[in-house]
Amino acid sequence: MSATTTVETAAASRPARLRSARQTLRPNRSLRAGVLLLASVLVLSLVGVLALDDPNHQVLADAFAKPGARGHLLGADPLGRDVLAWCARGVWTSLEVSLAVATLAAVFGTAVGVVAGYFGGPLDALLMRLVDLSLAIPPLLLFVSLSVVLSPSRVTLILLLALVAWIPYARVVRTRILAERERPYVAAGRLAGTPDRQICIRHLVPAASTAILVLLTLQLGYVLLWEAGLSFLGLGLQPPNVSLGYMVAQGRDYLADAWWVTTIPGLVIVTLMLSFNLIGDGLRDLFQDDVAVGGADGR
């Protein structure tokens, strides 16, 4: 729980529904910009993936080629892999991983949040303490320990990241549910004998859906950052998986001679993050939802 809870509860007390049609049509600059940016990046990288060579193709003779040299528009990495091809493919890998992690985290986190918020009492306390516990364990230790035990793969990485990413959902959803369950229709439903599960799934979750959506969009970016950070530490996706973070890490030793190896994939990451954030902010404005203030990255 954070101090933003006050804000969260205040927001939660307002019905979180879409604005009237007239207001929806009002230009939402943030959303438009974000979607446009993301679409451009995706289209460009798709073109790149289709038109360019396999990013894993090493040409040792081309190692450290400068941008523009030897047919490498953005240069080549220490093993002669084309940076442009790598970035193009890397965008899609990042997207896949981010979506997978965010979805997994959203499902699990929402479930925890709904149960905690709806049932309250000791179950709520238990689940929230579980959240605290998860926060208290350094992710680095978790990753290293589990990577000793599990074999390295994309699935393992997704699971590991999801293990960290579910927390904001739990908290945010819980707050929303806490407020929502006080509403008359919930009490009415219960009196009428509607099973809890139905109330939760068909009414409470949709009530929290805008918050979940905003959080998910924002989290796409953070998962991207985390994966890049893990690659930086040597724990992330390895070739033949094409990871932007991997190349940023590769280039670290060669900053002085081959700055493009780190800088360019880094810029791609920044651009992707920017688009996710713009979209998330836009959605937040759209839904008039202040619920995820600073919460998306787990803070």
Residue numbers 236-295 binding other proteins by CB under 8 A:
238-240, 248-250, 252-257, 259, 262-263, 266, 269-274, 276-278, 281, 290, 293-294
- 240: preceding bond cis by omega (within 30 degrees): yes
Cβ closest to other proteins, residue 103 vs residue 147: 147
Which DSSP symbol is given to 82? B
Q: Give the footprint of other proteins on residues 22-41 (CB under 8 A).
A: none
Question: Exactly one of 141, 184, 191, 192 binds other proteins (CB under 8 A); which one?
Answer: 141
Which DSSP symbol is given to 153? -
Cβ closest to other proteins, residue 21 vs residue 241: 241
Q: Are 264 and 87 in contact (CB under 8 A)?
A: yes
Give the residue from 80, 90, 77 showing the smallest Cα distance to 48: 90
**Partners of 76 in the beta sheet?**
82
Cβ closest to other proteins, residue 169 vs residue 276: 276
Q: 3-state DSSP call for residue 234? A: coil
Question: Exactly one of 140, 187, 188, 201 binds other proteins (CB under 8 A); which one?
Answer: 140
CA distance 118 to 116: 6
Q: Give the footprint of other proteins on residues 72-101 (CB under 8 A).
A: 78-80
C-alpha dihedral sign at 229, 234, 236, 242: positive
Give the residue from 72, 34, 97, 66 showing the smallest Cα distance to 242: 97
CB of 209 to other proteins, least distance (A): 21
CA distance 17 to 285: 12
The CA-CA-CA angle for residues 98, 99, 101, to 5°, reads 65
Q: Does 52 bind other proteins (CB under 8 A)?
A: no
Site string for other proteins, 207-236 (x = CB under 8 A): --------------x---x--xx--xxxx-
CB of 263 to other proteins, least distance (A): 7
CB of 93 to other proteins, least distance (A): 16
CB of 285 to other proteins, least distance (A): 12
| Cα–chain center distance at 252 | 25
Q: Does 124 bind other proteins (CB under 8 A)?
A: yes
> Under rule CB under 8 A, how many of the chain's residues touch other proteins?
79
Quick one: CA torsion of 115, 117, 120, 124, rounded to 10 degrees? 70
Q: Does 51 bind other proteins (CB under 8 A)?
A: no
Q: Give the footprint of other proteins on residues 166-185 (CB under 8 A).
A: 178, 182
CA distance 18 to 9: 18
Q: Does 21 bind other proteins (CB under 8 A)?
A: no
Q: Does 67 bind other proteins (CB under 8 A)?
A: no
CB of 197 to other proteins, least distance (A): 21
Tokens for 139? 């992710």
CA distance 195 to 191: 10
Question: Exactly one of 4, 94, 98, 219 binds other proteins (CB under 8 A); which one?
Answer: 4
Question: Exactly one of 129, 155, 198, 201 binds other proteins (CB under 8 A); which one?
Answer: 129
Q: Does 120 bind other proteins (CB under 8 A)?
A: yes
Question: Exactly one of 60, 184, 192, 197 binds other proteins (CB under 8 A); which one?
Answer: 60
Q: 3-state DSSP call for residue 75? A: coil
